[in-house]
Amino acid sequence: AQSVTQLDSHVSVSEGTPVLLRCNYSSSYSPSLFWYVQHPNKGLQLLLKYTSAATLVKGINGFEAEFKKSETSFHLTKPSAHMSDAAEYFCVVIRPGGYQKVTFGTGTKLQVIP
Amino acid sequence: EPEVTQTPSHQVTQMGQEVILRCVPISNHLYFYWYRQILGQKVEFLVSFYNNEISEKSEIFDDQFSVERPDGSNFTLKIRSTKLEDSAMYFCASSEPLEAQHFGDGTRLSIL
């Protein structure tokens, strides 16, 4: 079975402070992992991806995530939050195979306080 | 950069009518998906399509729903007899194996 858990439905940070959005996964295979961002009334935009290369992955807009197999985690971080980071963030796991399985997390809404 | 395109951007339909949502995936992608997002709620997986057949579907994807890749470029989602609760944003996505999904901008479906 495959699952994704985003531990926080809402995260609130002050502008200029670090961001941590947590994601844990379970998969019987070596999965690929992704973070997407959705701004209000917009579509889904890829932030970054892990596909079995470097475990620390850098994405757009200063975000990065570290794949930790021992902890089955793929947490998203950013050193300093910006007002424009306020959005919903989704962690996604893809199990490899011809009929690959995609599992979305339930999302974390990030609020940035000025 | 190639992108997934969805049409129309907004569809208004009377309850009970059939609706077809259209998507043009990125041309060399092999996997195709439909998701929906009811206003204010999370993104929900509907169906994935690979090798000209459904590879996985969720509980939401009941007999009222069907997908088709009629001509090698389009990927459509049909809802046979729409209900009020089908009102949502519908996203199409495509991908290469194990690569990130590329999403379209979505079709907002409003059922009256």
B36-81 pLDDT, tens digit per residue, is 999 888 788 899 999 889 988 888 999 999 999 988 789 999 999 9
By three-state DSSP, how is residue B104 classified?
coil
Confidence of residue A97 (pLDDT cuts 50, 70, 90): low
Chain B nearest-CA distance from A95, in A, is 7
Chain B nearest-CA distance from A103, in A, is 8
Beta strand A101-104 with A3-5: parallel, antiparallel or unpaired?
A: unpaired
Q: pLDDT value at position B100?
A: 83
Cβ–Cβ gap B50/A43 under 8 Å? no
d(CA B34, CA B20): 12
Confidence of residue A98 (pLDDT cuts 50, 70, 90): low
Chain A nearest-CA distance from B106, in A, is 7
By three-state DSSP, how is residue A48 classified?
strand
Residues A19, A9: contact at Cβ < 8 Å?
no
Q: pLDDT value at position B98?
A: 73
Angle (nearest 5°) at CA B103 between B101 and B108: 145
pLDDT at A95 exceeding the cut of 70: yes
A43 to chain B: closest CA residue:
B105
Residues A112, A85: contact at Cβ < 8 Å?
yes
pLDDT at A99 exceeding the cut of 70: no
Chain B window 13-72: which residues touch A at a Cβ cutoff of 8 Å? 31, 33, 35, 42-45, 48, 50-51, 55-56
* Nearest beta carbon to residue B31 from set A42, A51, A100: A100
pLDDT at A64 exceeding the cut of 90: yes
Phi, psi values for residue B8, rounded to 5°:
-75, 175
* Nearest beta carbon to residue A32 from set B45, B48, B98: B98
Contacts with A51 from chain B: Cβ below 8 Å: 98-99
Phi, psi values for residue A35, rounded to 5°:
-120, 135
